[in-house]
Structure 1
Amino acid sequence: METTEFNRRIGRSFWFCFVPILYYLGSASGFEPDFLFPLENVTIPQGRDATFTCIVNNLGGYRVAWIKADTKAILAIHEHVITNNARLSVTHNDYNTWTLNIKNVKREDRGQYMCQVNTDPMKMQTAFLEVVIPPDIINEETSGDVMVPEGGSAKLVCKARGHPQPSITWKREDGGEIIAREGPNGRTKLYYVEGEVLTLTKVTRSEMGAYLCIAANGVPPTVSKRMMLHVHFHPLIQVPNQLVGAPTNTDVTLQCHVEASPKAINYWTRENGEMIISNDKYSMSEINVSSYSMQIKLVIHRFQKSDLGGYKCISKNSIGDAEGSIRLYELEAFNKVETGDMSVMEKSSENDIEGRESSESHINHGFQGLLTESSDSSIRPEGNEAPKGSLGVIAMFWCSQLFLLLFFL
């Protein structure tokens, strides 16, 4: 800092000492210098190179100087750099153009620059160097991932620096809506929210996911930070079909829909509490639907009578647990048998359905054929009664024979 101030004082002394001499040399030529074009303002990102061009006609014996107007520091006179700054240089095209070059522009280079000719009165023109800085997110002052219980509140903070000062915009990574529950309008759904702080109240599981803090100030590149909002709640189980029927020797699929956060442990048991393990008889799978929900399935291979009864899907996490129940029963299947001129349905099993505790609409992955339900709740095939059409034909045949016999008598 002391070295810089010393250089400025030396530069001013140099300039004040040599102004009279330069003035004398310039006035001896008899021409009056003038600027051909105005000095243009420059806006440039930090780290790039900036250039000011000053075009002077009829310079004669006068000299051109570059000055930092706001600090009154003399930078260069004609082709000689005065300031002790290796990033500055001056070039001249041997005619009427003088150029001030500033390499690797820094924030402190911002300000007013002057191209000056040592006439009397002095002639000059100025231009402003604006140094812009792309946005940068301040990690130390910005939120990370946030965990909140369902129904609670979450506060996400994002701070950024740059020049001009960046603006902050919040969006959901999946393109979903942000639900704002504060203000006079009550519950509002927005695709983006502006401001350094995003406040979410009465948070639900549907608001779980990644949120993006985006900082922009018109200087590329725009930057963003990803934050995860975790909403914790105890497991919830929904059973699409609580009563499932299937014929024997077929594969039966039981399924439950589970929602839980944090991630739960899911498993299946028989109604007596016996845990089911994957083997040749049972296959289990999980299919993720979202960040907090999944479908869990149990496949029972080669369904037998010993598999009849109740099954439970159970889900447990650090907050709580839940279970769903499914009852499996045998469904009678019928084979179509051709007998002469009529078709009948033949029962493939003589066992009645056990444990029918809900409507037929709950049957899933089961055989469905041409079935009727009798008053004793067992399933019977239609068409097991005597073929009334055939008896009518036989009766008419004997009646006609009797009529012919009486006619000839």
Structure 2
Amino acid sequence: MSRFKLMADNLLPALLLFVALSSAVQAQRTPTITYITQEQIKDIGDTVEFECSVKNAKEYNVLFIKSDYDLDRVFLSTGSTLVIKDSRFSLRYDPNSSTYKLQIKDIKETDAGTYTCQVLISTVHKVSANVNLSVRRPPVISNNSTRSIVVSEGSEVQMECYASGYPTPTITWRRENNASLPTDGVVYEGNILRIKSLKKEDRGVYICVADNGVSEGDRRNINVEVEMAPVITVPRPRMGQALQYDIYLKCHIEAYPPPVIVWSKDDIQLANNEHYIVSNFATADEYTDSTLRVITIEKGQYGDYVCKATNRLGHAEARVNLFEAFVPVCPPVCENLYSDEAVKIVV
């Protein structure tokens, strides 16, 4: 028994040395990835190349795999063979450095994602290294951004503007013709523009600009309308004209929504006929010029004419007095609209 014990004592160190050497050899033969390209940022249309250097991987399959932001995986190559059917992709293998080089030409937005170099040891054992490709994309303003606003005077307003793109776009706000913003200044930066108490002077076009240094950026015009009850002004409250001549009476209405406009005399609404013609011309969404043409004036047509405007927020009215003049205005026939400079009133 002592002889067997002596043999065991002599063999034990040898066995331990053998196991240690076997483990070292096995460790040396375990595949490793010694280099992977660092993160890449490219413009659309550029070319990118990913390098992956491996060690102790001659007996194993080396793959390139692409994962996009939706976590969809696409196998691009296996070993030195390209499997993706896209002429923009190419693959080279350098046996001296055990390096795989994947190249993509004419980069598209959809090429952005994570590229994985993977050594497949077994179905459950893999060695991987990743490199991200970011593709610069011009800004595109999102559909959930504000398009137009209609609010009552004095209300609080919030306009929102968001944009996709890489790098992340900066959002700035301006007004048409570089008018001052209600927030003070002519430029405001941020996704949300708030106006605490909207005034009628604040109506107009607001411009959201998205910029990230790629291309010319993107912009959206946001029309802001302020609802208000009608306000009427009369350029000439008193006008004179001789019998049997025409005259044009005018009123100017500021209102939104656009109002219903009528002219009346002696509480009787006037309609287009052989004695009167009413014309309304909208110069903007909130401005309307209304003209009443009095045709071949007779005695009974002298007096006060009332211009009335009504929308759902209220109504307003203004009067124009037509009196008899002994000298005709615009002789011999007043067929065209008068100008303030051309009209002469004779009392």
What TM-score comes out, normalization by structure 1 length?
0.56
Structure 1 residues 219-241: Cα deviation after superposition (integer angstroms, max 9, x where no partner)? 23522333222211110011121
What is the 5 A alignment of 1:245-394?
Answer: 245-270=240-265, 272-333=266-327, 367-368=344-345
Alignment of 1:149 onto 2:164: no
The code of the aligned residue for 2:305 comes to Y
Secondary structure of the residue aligned to 2:182 is: strand
Secondary structure of the residue aligned to 1:306 is: helix
Secondary structure of the residue aligned to 1:90 is: strand
Q: Counterpart in 1 of 2:143?
A: 139
Q: Counterpart in 2 of 1:185?
A: none
Q: Counterpart in 1 of 2:47?
A: 50
The code of the aligned residue for 1:171 comes to R
Secondary structure of the residue aligned to 2:268 is: coil
Secondary structure of the residue aligned to 2:201 is: helix
1:331–1:366: 8 Å Cα contact kept in structure 2?
no
2:113–2:132: 8 Å Cα contact kept in structure 1?
no
**What CA distance in whole angstroms lies between the structure 2 residues aligned with 1:307 and 1:364?**
25
Q: For 2:172, which of 158, 169, 188 is the aligned residue? A: 169
Secondary structure of the residue aligned to 2:48 is: strand
Percent of aligned pairs sharing the same letter: 24
**What CA distance in whole angstroms lies between the structure 2 residues aligned with 1:230 and 1:367?**
39
Using the TM superposition, give the Cα deviation of residue 175 of structure 1 relative to its aligned residue in structure 2, in angstroms: 4.3
Using the TM superposition, give the Cα deviation of residue 211 of structure 1 relative to its aligned residue in structure 2, in angstroms: 2.1
Secondary structure of the residue aligned to 1:139 is: coil
Structure 1 residues 264-315: Cα deviation after superposition (integer angstroms, max 9, x where no partner)? 0111000x11111112322222233332112211111222222111100000
1:246–1:365: 8 Å Cα contact kept in structure 2?
no
What TM-score comes out, normalization by structure 2 length?
0.65
Using the TM superposition, give the Cα deviation of residue 164 of structure 1 relative to its aligned residue in structure 2, in angstroms: 1.2
Q: Counterpart in 1 of 2:207?
A: 212
Using the TM superposition, give the Cα deviation of residue 42 of structure 1 relative to its aligned residue in structure 2, in angstroms: 5.5
The code of the aligned residue for 1:168 comes to I
2:239–2:345: 8 Å Cα contact kept in structure 1?
no
**What CA distance in whole angstroms lies between the structure 1 residues aligned with 2:76 and 2:298?**
97
**What CA distance in whole angstroms lies between the structure 2 residues aligned with 1:225 and 1:216?**
12
**What CA distance in whole angstroms lies between the structure 2 residues aligned with 1:304 and 1:195?**
64
**What CA distance in whole angstroms lies between the structure 1 residues aligned with 2:31 and 2:313?**
84
Compare relative contact order (CA 8 Å, sep 6+) and give the higher one, 1 or 2: 2
**What CA distance in whole angstroms lies between the structure 2 residues aligned with 1:177 and 1:297?**
34
What is the 5 A alignment of 1:167-246?
Answer: 167-173=170-176, 175-180=178-183, 188=184, 190-220=185-215, 222-246=217-241
Aligned CA distance change for structure 1 residues 53 and 331 (closer, same or farther; 3 Å): same
Using the TM superposition, give the Cα deviation of residue 192 of structure 1 relative to its aligned residue in structure 2, in angstroms: 2.5
Secondary structure of the residue aligned to 1:179 is: coil
2:140–2:163: 8 Å Cα contact kept in structure 1?
yes
Secondary structure of the residue aligned to 1:178 is: coil
* Count of residues paired in the alignment: 278
Structure 1 residues 10-47: Cα deviation after superposition (integer angstroms, max 9, x where no partner)? xxxxxx6899xxxxxxxxxxxxxxxxxxx99854346x
Structure 1 residues 317-344: Cα deviation after superposition (integer angstroms, max 9, x where no partner)? 011000001111111229xxxxxxxxxx
Aligned CA distance change for structure 1 residues 108 and 283 (closer, same or farther; 3 Å): same
**What CA distance in whole angstroms lies between the structure 1 residues aligned with 2:232 and 2:158?**
30
**What CA distance in whole angstroms lies between the structure 1 residues aligned with 2:345 and 2:202?**
41
Q: Which protein is bigger by CA-based radius of gyration?
A: 1
**What CA distance in whole angstroms lies between the structure 2 residues aligned with 1:91 and 1:111?**
16
1:331–1:367: 8 Å Cα contact kept in structure 2?
no
2:246–2:297: 8 Å Cα contact kept in structure 1?
yes
Aligned CA distance change for structure 1 residues 323 and 368 (closer, same or farther; 3 Å): closer
Q: Counterpart in 2 of 1:6?
A: none
**What CA distance in whole angstroms lies between the structure 2 residues aligned with 1:138 and 1:85?**
32
For structure 1, the residue ranges without an aligned partner over 5 or more in a row are 1-15, 20-38, 55-64, 69-73, 114-126, 181-187, 335-362, 370-378, 380-409
Q: Whose strand fraction is larger, Structure 1's or Structure 2's?
A: 2
1:51–1:99: 8 Å Cα contact kept in structure 2?
no
